[in-house]
Structure 1
Amino acid sequence: MKLQPRQQLLEVWEAAARTSLRDGGWTWGGRGGSNSISDAEQLLCFMYPASELPGFRLDTPDETADDVLAALTDLGDSVEIPKLLLKVIGEYLRTYTGDDGRPIFSGGSYFLPSDEDAKITPEQLQLDVVDSFSMSVTLALGTLGFLKVFRQSVRREDIRREIRELEDLASSRLSAAMVGLLRSFTINAFDPGAPAGRALLRTVNQTGAPERRVLDDLRRELRPVRAGLRDLSIGSGSEVDLDNENLLFECGWTWGIVKDAPDVSTPLQIGPQPKGVAADTPFLYFTVNALVGISDLWSERTRVLGLLNDDQLNLAQSLQRRWDLTQLYWRTIAMYGRGTWPLEDIPWKTTDEKESEYYSLGVTAMVVQSLVNSRASDVDLGRVASVLEELAIRARIIRRGVPGDPPVLMHSPGVPVNLRGSEELGPPMIWVVSDFAITLLKRTIWAATIAQNTRTRERLLTLADQIWRHIMQRRCADGAARGLWDQPGNVFTDIEVRHEEPSWYFSERVVEFLVAAALASGESPLRSPQLVEFAFQMLSEAEHLLDQELVTRQLVEGQTIQPKLRSIQAALQRARLIISDRPATANALINNALLDLERLAVARDSASEAI
């Protein structure tokens, strides 16, 4: 990619530091106001790169890189930066912990009334939401890792005491977030003849096959998922009866704690478990976000640092089971059949008869995540790449939008999601999602990281470059948000609204992408089997010619081998060492060695003719 993730991340850190620290103090809240999600997103703009990338570590003052210190100069020096983060993390954890000790995961200002004239009630503003659970898992793990390493550099007892207190608060928040995710998981079972069943069968039946045959085949394909879901024992979803195989079903996460969800029995100190009101049906947007957060629970860093205790590991295992089953379910539905995949039939239609390119993106995100974990074939990746390209075109990301273009509404104001069940406590609420472009980019770079075919990978990286140019154009150029996101009016002329404050919602997702791009750039380049074979053939010829030179060339007194031949020998030894992992580089070394050997041969022949 033409992207420079390290430089871009440093620029984002510089902008985020300047925006966050105003008038000598930390400023919470951006465009969406201050709430448990927005404030977590603001912190993650700093904590996520520091947790995932060794070159961005802030927990060891003596090892902080010079360019990192230059980018964060507004926050202080290598010693003051971790102290400031300690203070800010403490503010966040204490602000979103209730008097009863229960961590707070409310949506707050991110909740909007479906009717602009209605006013959301205080009880609704305090409802827990899956986005907050997911963000809190990532933030709490990053915080625990930061505190565990930073403690080793601290000698002052008051700071060490603060670290211990924050570890307890972060661990409690992590536990409560996992319990919240367990209580937000849902299984929606329905009769094939019901509207939801007919909608699902229409989605998977891309060839016009007899409905009865499709139904029987789909039941057979979903049998492993059904069996796994039937064995769930804790959290919501465990009460659903899936013994009746005549029923179809879908699984995933709803927007908040499911209505009448049972408490999760755990010895962990998480305070009282609140009652839920969320409808007992999965939402694509919240399912995708839940899966992203849950995957951090078994990351390499989490395992190496031992960030989970035994009781938390039990919760994590329950979540991983749901993660695996949900991935398998949506991959089965999205890639069903031998002809056109349902995923390729854009836009995706949900079981409640709603359709949108955003829903296609949600299903694609789960398919890509599943393919990443299963190291899928390039045939599947090629078809997914076509879907990603089509979505980029339809959303006017890599095509120019025209006045009055409906797809522009996906970017601003965004796609509204009805929070069914919220009307029990007040007016119906909606959740507006406007991260289409950056979510598409994240899935594109994920797919590119597992592509083994050079052409497929180049295709995906080219698409990623195009989407990145679009996102860079949406960067704020002035005001408090300068250097951050999101200003869609820079790209779409129909959007007249200009924003002064940053969207931490969008900016944090840009940071996630940049971290993924940085991690991908550290992996070994693709290895073409044909190129490896060709390199071995060239190496064989070069080594044979070198052996001839060593046999025929006269030795200089005091030397076992002439300097030029020694250089050629070293180059060929290096080529043999790296030929399997970097065949193109090995080829370059072999080419140079062959040219040097040819020059020696020509010089020898010329000398013979002169005699």
Structure 2
Amino acid sequence: MRIQPREQLLDLWRALLAACWDGRRWCWNEQTAPNSLSDSEQLLCLLYPATEIDVFALDDPDRIQDDVAEVLAPIGRRNQLAGFVVSLLAQYLDRNTDEHGEPMFAAGDYLRGEPTDAQRRIEVVSSYAVSLTVCLTGLRFLQACRVRTRHGELTDRIDALSARLSARLTAAMTGLIRSFVVTTAPPDSPAGHAILGMLNQSGQPDRVIHDDLRRSLERVRTLLLNDVILGRAALSVELDDDSMLFECGWSWGIAHTAGEIDGVDARIAHRGGIADPRPHLYFTVIALDAINDLVAPRTGELGGFDERQIRLAQALRLRWELAQRYWSTLARFGVGSWPLEDIPWRTSDGSASDYFSLLVSAVLIQDLTARTAADDDLTRVAAIFEELAARGRITRRALLGDPAVGLHTPGLRLPLRGSEPTDDGPVLQWAVSDFAPMLLRQVLRAVGLSSNVETRDTLMELAKSVMDHLDRRILRSGATGLWDDPAGVFGDNGAPVATEPSWSITERLVECLITAERSYRQRPPQWPELQRMARNLLAIADHRYDQTKLGVALDDRSAKRLMLDRVEARIDAARQEAQHNPATTLVHAIEALRDLEQLSIARRDASRST
């Protein structure tokens, strides 16, 4: 199916209101324990499109599109929609702030493994990351409302909410900084063998691979040692030993080795962490996605960041750049075949999964977005995505008992080491079942980078196939129109029918549709073949015009002269578009040649009649 962001987001909003708005109040996901992650995802389903896509903007009644107003009519009239969103932001903050006024980031029932009540209050990187996005989009929305609102009670409310969102933003950034970790491993350790074995695609001695890797990551190591200072504990002297292998990224939560952050009053800057200080690919990708929002040009338009937040943002940007550089280097390490092409990716703890390959691909796409992506890189990435879609039974039919179904339901279980309490409670797990929407988003990002006709076409066809798969997983009962019901695809493999929405998967689909909208709004790719053809046809049309005009008198005011004037206008328009829009140049040139051919036919007919 075609990916049509406007229509599909409106359908999603319609389903969102049917599930969450009873005509008087907004129905949040009523968990047995506080869950800021679920609340954030639910709110972003409405707030993210309203701040990222102009036609979905709700801050100005005069700009609200008719189809948007119609879908949101159950909430109220156009001039009531901005106030409604403001009230949702207030509810969100009330639900996720404790009695002392401190922001809460509890993961609640998203934690697996029979968590105790105390464990349900554990905070994870996903909560910090999604909260960061909520705060940035919320502040952007409130800023737009503030400009258009007359001074009075509503402006006072907006100012108060902005201050509370800003405080939560500071806390979320602090949590992300203190969750960034670096770990080392000797080359002859099990972790070292796993890293070198994954990277060695040419069968060379480990010593050669180690030396090449050390040189490739020398700058990353230097910056980690000298520039990554805020919120870290004293780095092991082992990182200074360039014979040691290392990894960097985000753990699942604040590491137990994390240092305090001076200058931030929130409790999150000073309390001890519990997470094992080892990078998780999943949480690294989640953190990088959120920091993308922080470093985006639009965020600079917000202004109003205080000195603390500027310092935190700079620290996060550095970690964002280093993590991308590190994992992108590993993904494409060596000559010949990439380690990333050797599916599945194997992590340093010995685990292997197609999902890990997808996560490393996601980091690579982010790194290619931040830099200039080469056509060869994207061609190889497209082949990786096609294989992952097939292996994940998205573009291939699943057999009975197919283990690949486990990527989607119940999902991959990630152990959260350090989450076990001192009274010998269980090590909690994190379930991830977003393989399909994660793949779709990376494919759509790659589409926006590709300038190769065949690669772009391959990626677009793959995106449509993944969207077909996800369309079959829309809930057909209960919260109809939202996600996620894997039984729609994998019912024969025992997937239970779902009726309750997964805000995690639904919000991922919102991100995918926003990514598609951004890609569609870009200028068409400037393919060299098309440019050459357009310029050749323009030159031919220009020459034919000059030839035809030789036979027309200066004082001729006939239909022939009027048509020539029209041809000249087409050629001028084609020439203006030649540099940036060769497809339009091609159309104008063809239309000019068609008119000139009609003149030629008329001239020949006139000659025969005489």
Which category of TM-score, normalised to the shorter sequence, fits these structures?
A: over 0.9
Q: Is the counterpart of residue 254 in structure 1 residue 254 in structure 2?
A: no
| Equivalent in the alignment of 2:575 | 576
1:240 pairs, out of 236, 240, 251, with 236
Q: Which moved more, 1:420-429 or 1:230-239?
A: 230-239
**1:90-489 equivalence runs, <5 A:** 90-113=90-113, 119-155=114-150, 157-231=152-226, 232-236=228-232, 239-241=235-237, 242-267=239-264, 273-306=270-303, 308-425=305-422, 426-479=425-478, 481-489=479-487
CA contact (8 A) 1:175 1:270 kept: no
Question: For residues 382 and 204 of structure 2, what CA distance do their matches in structure 1 show?
Answer: 27
Instruction: Name the aligned partner's letter for residue 338 of structure 1.
Output: V
Deviation (angstroms), 1:269: 5.6
Alpha-carbon distance between aligned partners in 2 of 1:268 and 1:301, rounded to the nearest angstrom: 27
The separation in 2 between residues aligned to 1:328 and 1:603, in whole angstroms, is 65
1:432 is paired with a residue of what secondary structure? strand
User: TM-score w.r.t. structure 1 length?
Assistant: 0.96
Matches within 5 A, 1:494-573: 494-555=493-554, 562-573=561-572
Aligned to 1:48: 48
CA contact (8 A) 1:410 1:436 kept: yes
Q: Offset at 1:329?
A: 0.6
Given residue 98 of structure 1, which amino acid in structure 2 is its aligned partner? D
Once the two structures are superposed, what CA deviation does each residue of 1:113-150 show, in whole Å capped at 9, x if it has no partner? 1xxxxx42222111111001100111100000000111
Aligned to 2:84: 84
The superposition leaves residues 198-256 of structure 1 with CA deviations (integer Å, 9 ceiling, x where unpaired) of 11011111111011111111111111110010011111365333211111100000000
Kept in 2, the 8 Å contact 1:476–1:484? The answer is yes
One-letter amino acid matched to 1:552: G
Contact 1:416–1:431, Cα closer than 8 Å, also in 2: yes
Instruction: Work out whether residues 28 and 34 of structure 1, in 8 Å CA contact, stay in contact via their aligned partners in 2.
Output: no
Q: CA deviation at 1:584?
A: 2.5
Tell me, in whole angstroms, the C-alpha distance in 1 between the residues paired with 2:234 and 2:65: 49
Q: What is the deviation of 1:495?
A: 3.1
Which amino acid letter does the alignment assign opposite residue 332 of structure 1? T
Name the % identity.
40
| Separation in 2, partners of 1:448, 1:276 | 40
User: Alpha-carbon deviations, 1:570-593, whole Å to 9, x = none?
Assistant: 211111111222222321221121
Residue type of the alignment partner of 1:305: L
Distance 1:491 1:149 in 2: 42
Is the 1:349–1:359 Cα contact (8 Å) retained in structure 2?
yes
- Name the stretch that deviates more: 409-418 or 529-538: 529-538
Task: Identify if the C-alpha distance between structure 1 residues 540 and 163 changes in structure 2 by more than 3 Å, giving closer, same or farther.
Answer: same
CA, structure 1 residues 65+587, in 2 after alignment: closer, same or farther (shift >3 Å)?
same
In 2, the alpha carbon distance for the partners of 1:288 and 1:496 equals 27
Q: What SS is found at the alignment partner of 1:278? A: coil
Aligned partners of 2:177 and 2:230 also within 8 Å: yes
Tell me the residue number matched to 1:490. 488
Question: What is the CA-CA distance between 1:360 and the residue it aligns to?
Answer: 1.0
- SS of 2:420's equivalent in the other structure is helix
Letter in structure 2 aligned against 1:312: Q
Which 10-residue stretch deviates more, 549-558 or 415-424? 549-558
Distance 1:307 1:441, change over 3 A: farther
Tell me the alpha carbon deviations over residues 182-208 of structure 1, each in whole angstroms, 9 at most, x when there is no partner: 100000111111111111011111111
Contact 2:260 2:269 in 1 (8 A): no
Change (3 A) 1:565 1:302: same
Question: Retained in 2: the 8 A contact 1:185–1:237?
Answer: no
SS in 1 for 2:118: helix
Q: Distance in 1 between matches of 2:416 and 2:269?
A: 24
Mapped partners of 1:521, 1:468: distance in 2: 16
Using the alignment, how far apart are the partners of 2:555 and 2:582 within structure 1? 35
Q: Which AA in structure 2 matches 1:295? A: N
Q: Which moved more, 1:30-39 or 1:225-234?
A: 30-39
Cα offset, 1:33, TM superposition: 7.8
Cα distance, 1:250–1:446 mapped onto 2, change above 3 Å: same
**CA root-mean-square deviation:** 1.9
- Kindly indicate whether the alpha-carbon contact (under 8 Å) linking 1:361 and 1:440 is maintained by their aligned counterparts in 2: yes
Distance 1:31 1:464, change over 3 A: farther
| Cα distance, 1:34 vs structure 2 | 5.9
Larger RCO (CA under 8 A, 6+ residues apart): 1
Contact persistence 2:124–2:254 (CA under 8 A): yes
Contact 1:31 1:504 survives alignment (8 Å) = no
- In the alignment, the residues of structure 2 paired with residue 270 and residue 551 of structure 1 have an alpha-carbon distance, to the nearest angstrom, of 84
Please state how far the C-alpha of 1:342 moved relative to its aligned partner: 1.0
Deviation at 1:60, TM superposition (A): 1.1
After TM superposition, give the deviation of residue 100 of structure 1 in Å: 2.5
**Greater mean alpha carbon deviation, residues 464-473 or residues 368-377:** 368-377
Q: For each residue in 1:22-69, what CA deviation from the matched residue of structure 2 results, as whole angstroms up to 9, or x when unmatched?
A: 252111117998610011000000111111111110111221111111
Measured in 2, the distance between the counterparts of 1:436 and 1:293 equals 18
- The residue type paired with residue 302 of structure 1 is T
State the secondary structure of the residue aligned to 1:422: coil
Q: What is the CA distance between 1:315 and its match in structure 2?
A: 0.8
2:46 paired with 1:25? no
In structure 1, distance between residues paired with 2:597 and 2:33: 70
Q: Give the drift of 1:595.
A: 1.6
User: What amino acid is aligned across from residue 123 of structure 1 in structure 2?
Assistant: A
Q: Distance in 2 between the 1:524 and 1:445 partners?
A: 15
Q: How many angstroms does 1:561 deviate by?
A: 8.3
Is the 1:488–1:495 contact (alpha carbons within 8 Å) kept by the matching residues of 2?
no
Deviations 1:236-280 (CA, angstroms, capped at 9, x unpaired): 365333211111100000000000311111256667633210001
Given that 1:49 and 1:511 are in contact with CA atoms closer than 8 Å, whether structure 2 keeps it comes out as yes
Q: Does the 8 Å contact 1:31/1:502 carry over to 2?
A: no
Q: Distance in 2 between matches of 1:245 and 1:337?
A: 19
Gaps of 5+ in 1: 114-118
> Which segment is superposed worse, 62-71 or 280-289?
62-71
Bigger mean CA offset, 497-506 vs 281-290: 497-506
Q: Conserved in 1, the CA contact under 8 Å of 2:473 and 2:484?
A: yes
2:502 maps to amino acid? S
Count of residues in Structure 1 that have an aligned counterpart in Structure 2: 605
Check the 8 A contact 2:34/2:96 in 1, yes or no. Answer: no
Q: Distance in 2 between matches of 1:558 and 1:458?
A: 48
Structure 1 residues 82 and 270, CA gap change in structure 2 (3 angstroms): farther
Rate the CA distance shift 1:458–1:34 in 2: closer, same or farther, 3 A. Answer: farther
**Which whole-Å CA distance do the structure 2 matches of 1:361 and 1:220 have between them?**
26
Partner of residue 116, structure 1: none
**How do 1:33-44 and structure 2 match up within 5 A?**
35-44=35-44
Q: Deviations over 1:124-180 (max 9, x none)?
A: 111111001100111100000000111122226221111111101100011110110
CA distance in 2, matches of 1:557, 1:201: 80
Q: Could you tell me the TM-score, scaled by structure 2's length?
A: 0.96
Q: What is aligned with 2:66?
A: 66
Q: Distance in 1 between matches of 2:212 and 2:542?
A: 58
1:3 positional shift: 1.4
